[in-house]
Chain A
Amino acid sequence: MSNAVSALNGKVAAGEVTIREAGLRGMITLRADLSDSKVKSICTSLTGAAFPSSGQANCDDAKGLCWMSPDEVLILVPYDTVADALEQIAKALKNKHHLAENVSDARALITVEGTFAREVIAKLAPVDLHPDAFQPGDFRRSHIGQVAAAFWMRDQDTIAVICFRSVAEYAFDLLATSAKAGRVGFFA
């Protein structure tokens, strides 16, 4: 798989808030009964992350779990371990109704990093990004501009955004334009 490239191949727009396409990321969509202990434990064992509750994401840079819906979790693992992870899931959930699909290539992960990262997202999404309302660990699916996006805070100055691969360029340019337009000063 030496010839695999991510949607924007690590493109960067540097500035006070820097927009960066994160490169190849392993992502697995798992649809299953999320209250099932086997489902939880395979997710946890693959990522080392605690199983997220509704509206939460537990992620570090390379691995993590995002709560997508009452019966869907997004599993983040290193890109080249996806096939192995899928095998482990299949084995662990052998007799349970579930769907696990590799979506690593279907999506792009873009990071927004800088002092007014919150405001860059708030320019584009109808979501309350005030520090009282959105903190590291919170996860939200919504839209930025005209495309679907999911995002969470890695830390106070970094927001990770996931969008579909086909619109990665649009999403990147939109984020970069909003970052370049500067601070609003609303989230003091």
Chain B
Amino acid sequence: MLTLHCPYCGVDADETDLHAGGEAHLKRASTGSSDDAFEDYLFMRENPKGVHFERWRHAYGCGKWFLAARCTATLQVFGTYRAQTHEPPQDIKDAISAQRPGWSWGNFR
């Protein structure tokens, strides 16, 4: 039972107030994309043991989607941040580096 901080309303929300939305930072492939690119977008996921980026919605709260950097093995939360970004902000990356030196995830490190 996780507790995640909602970066929009400032509430430390109980997992029962949240809705999980799968992997974060997917890059949408649409018309004009190759079959491979579209397959990547629809189906290919990182599924790591360790540092991971996820989408969560504060469903019973303010209704906003946010992103979380979390360790799937220990459930440590490195930080949560707003969804309107294509990559994790530097302070989140720094927080991860402090705890998990040498981490990488997709193209992020």
Contact = CB atoms under 8 A, between A and B. Distances in A.
Nearest to A144: B60
Q: Is the interface of A mostly helix, strand, loop or mixed?
A: strand
B11 A55 contact: yes
A54 B9 contact: yes
Contact of A141 (B14, B16, B60): B60
Interface stretch (B24-32, B61-69, B71-79, B100-108): B61-69
Contact of B60 (A55, A70, A148): A148
Contact of A70 (B8, B14, B17): B8
Q: Give 3 closest A-B pairs by Cβ, nearest first.
A: A126-B14, A69-B62, A143-B60
Contacts of A141: 9, 60-62
Contacts of B11: 55, 140
Contacts of A9: none
B10 A54 contact: yes
Given A126-B14, A126-B16, A126-B17, A142 B9 contact: no
Contacts of B16: 126, 143
A68 interface: yes
A126 B14 CA distance: 6
10 contacts: A55-B9, A69-B8, A69-B63, A70-B9, A72-B62, A126-B16, A126-B17, A140-B11, A142-B14, A143-B17
Contacts, number: 34
Contacts of B17: 126, 142-143
A88 B59 CA distance: 31
B10 A55 contact: yes
B93 to A, nearest CB: 24
Nearest to A146: B16
A122 to B, nearest CB: 12
Interface in A7-54: 54
A156 to B, nearest CB: 22
Given A54-B10, A126-B17, A142-B17, A68 B62 contact: yes
Contact of B64 (A55, A70, A143, A148): A70
Interface in A76-128: 126-127
Given A69-B63, A141-B9, 16 more contacts: A54-B10, A55-B10, A55-B11, A69-B8, A69-B9, A70-B9, A72-B63, A126-B14, A126-B17, A140-B11, A141-B60, A141-B62, A142-B14, A143-B17, A143-B60, A148-B60
B55 to A, nearest CB: 17
Nearest to A69: B62
B13 to A, nearest CB: 8
Nearest to B16: A126
B7 to A, nearest CB: 10
